[in-house]
Structure 1
Amino acid sequence: MSADRLGAERTAALAQIAALTREFDAVVAASQASNADDEHDPEGATIAFERQQLAALLEQARRRLAEVDAAVTAVEAGTYGRCETCGAPIAPERLEARPTTRTCIACAT
């Protein structure tokens, strides 16, 4: 796995966090500006639901960033591509599919 690929993954995660944060802030601002009773609105999802959905997506994006950062640290330490559980090499195909994986397929199952 190249540092370039991890750098691209990190950039994508940061962009996703920024976009979700803007969207979350817009939903919060819209809910503060409105006095609508969204809990009983038959027209669709409530503002509270949208806010919680965005909060969950934002948390997921932050976890993704943390995983990428851990992989970058492993590259710098020379331990990237080695299973954290058994120490065996992680198959290149697994690293290609999941660049932030920390375990070999045997330990993951």
Structure 2
Amino acid sequence: MVPVLEAKARPQFLRGDFEVAAFMAMKDVEVRVRELAGLSNSAIGKTLMTDAFRPPKNANDPNDHGGPLWDPTADPGEAVALMELFKGAFRSTSSSRVGTSPSRNRSAPCSATPSSRFP
């Protein structure tokens, strides 16, 4: 396990707080992707993952290299699948930023009961 994730998520996991452990881990993933991609705090959730991992929009444009985390050496299908995997891990109503608290207008990923999220 990545040391940062282990330090933050493992204690909750060991206590049986699996949802909190998953939230803590995913929060760190979101923050780290934002840092590595050099994107602003306004980039959140699915939009962040799309901006970070997007393929080039125009293959004929030599100046379009895709998102900052796009891997041009990877198989294109696998690179897009990686972007979709990260996008699918985030709900559009949650975000994680360093040094900020969630907006009152946004619901935290753990605030809803499972039955209200999955009708």
Answer with 1 or 2: which has the greater Rg.
Answer: 1
Higher share in helix: 1
> What TM-score do you get using the length of structure 1 for normalisation?
0.34
